[in-house]
């Protein structure tokens, strides 16, 4: 790190100022960045203004989402009266034709993936995006037909629950199959469209921790398995889908788990 001049004296090189310049630059940046990040998230006045804007254009049946996910409680505080529990705990966003996305920090909600906003309004750090699309038409929601379900095999009948699956809320049909014994849940006379879409996951973080076995769900139509999904403890809310022929049919879900107390949560819709 050192060199000598003509007289033989030790002379520090210019490189010797690099460490201190590095430290000074980091310190100065850290002071500014710390203060900037601490004030970078919009506060309640900005949210109140954004909420006012959304309310002015809101129509019944619209979906309101917030991004990133961690700001969801703040969004619900300002607009939660426009978000029924069933909507907050939706199976997915496909049945919503209009979606309001309130975003900070440039984030996108998974519910608007692939969509292009028809309107964008920016103000005080919150971007309000409105999306419009042709929603799917649901001809049957299996959750609404729980009372018609017929059960065979190991375990009790399904109940409709508001459950935590993959750390998100989902209104679903919950079953607890006997370990190693398939549980068949049959819905008679289900109106079908062109597609049956559903999701499955394991409810409750603590049972997922203490019991690491996956859950298996098969969907049978006319004695044929048309869709299958395996949900592991860290997989969250797993989508499955199968084409169907419009008409009326008996749909059977077969839930399996290799160990006891596995809370299997699923939902399914027949879509036109």
Q: Does 119 bind other proteins (CB under 8 A)?
A: no
> Which residue in the set 45, 60, 73, 223 belongs to the binding site for other proteins (CB under 8 A)?
73
272 contributes a contact to other proteins by CB under 8 A? no
Give the residue among 169, 161, 108, 99 at the shortest CA–CA distance from 135: 99
Cα 160 to Cα 52, 168, 182, 234: the distances in Å are 34, 16, 20, 22
| 26 touching other proteins, by CB under 8 A | yes
Query: Distance between terminal CA atoms of the chain?
Result: 75
In contact, 93 and 63? CB cutoff 8 Å = yes
Question: Structure tokens of 170?
Answer: 């989902």
For other proteins, the closer CB: 120 or 205: 205
Backbone angles phi, psi at 109, to 5 degrees: -85, 145
Report, in Å, the least distance between residue 57 CB and other proteins: 19
Q: Which of 132, 141, 204, 220 binds other proteins (CB under 8 A)?
A: 204
DSSP state for residue 226 in the 8-state scheme: E
The region of 9-17, 172-180, 238-246, 253-261 touching other proteins under the rule CB under 8 A is 9-17
Q: Does 162 bind other proteins (CB under 8 A)?
A: yes
For 24: left if phi > 0, alpha if psi spans -120 to 50, otherwise beta; the answer is alpha
Tell me which stretch binds other proteins (CB under 8 A): 79-87, 126-134, 143-151, 255-263. Answer: 79-87
- Residues in contact with other proteins by CB under 8 A are 1, 11-14, 16-17, 19-24, 26-31, 33-43, 68, 70-74, 76-77, 80-81, 83-85, 88-89, 105, 107, 162-164, 167-169, 204-205, 208-209, 212, 234
């Amino acid at each position: 790190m050192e060199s000598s001049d003509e007289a033989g004296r030790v002379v520090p090189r210019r490189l010797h100022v690099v460490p201190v310049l590095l430290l000074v630059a980091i310190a100065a940046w850290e002071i500014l960045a710390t203060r900037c990040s601490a004030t970078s998230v919009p506060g309640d006045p900005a949210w109140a203004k954004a909420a006012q804007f959304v309310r002015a254009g809101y129509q019944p049946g619209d979906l309101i989402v917030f991004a990133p996910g961690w700001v969801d409680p703040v969004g619900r505080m300002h607009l939660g009266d426009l978000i029924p529990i069933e909507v907050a705990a939706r199976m997915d966003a496909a049945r919503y034709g209009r979606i309001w996305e309130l975003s900070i920090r440039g984030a996108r909600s998974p519910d608007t993936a692939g969509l292009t906003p028809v309107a964008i309004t920016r103000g005080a750090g919150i971007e309000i995006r409105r999306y419009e699309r042709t929603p799917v038409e649901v001809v049957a929601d299996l959750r609404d037909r729980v009372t018609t379900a017929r059960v065979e095999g190991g375990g009790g009948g399904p109940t409709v629950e508001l459950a935590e699956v993959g750390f998100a809320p989902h209104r679903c049909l919950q079953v607890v199959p006997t370990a190693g014994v398939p549980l068949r849940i049959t819905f008679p006379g289900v109106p079908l469209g062109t597609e049956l879409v559903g999701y499955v996951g394991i409810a409750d973080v603590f049972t997922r921790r203490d019991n690491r076995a996956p859950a298996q769900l098969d969907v049978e139509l006319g004695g044929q398995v048309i869709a299958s999904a395996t949900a592991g403890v860290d997989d969250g809310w797993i989508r499955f889908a199968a084409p169907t022929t419009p008409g009326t049919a008996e749909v059977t879900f077969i839930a399996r788990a290799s160990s006891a107390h596995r809370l299997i949560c699923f939902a399914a819709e027949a879509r036109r």
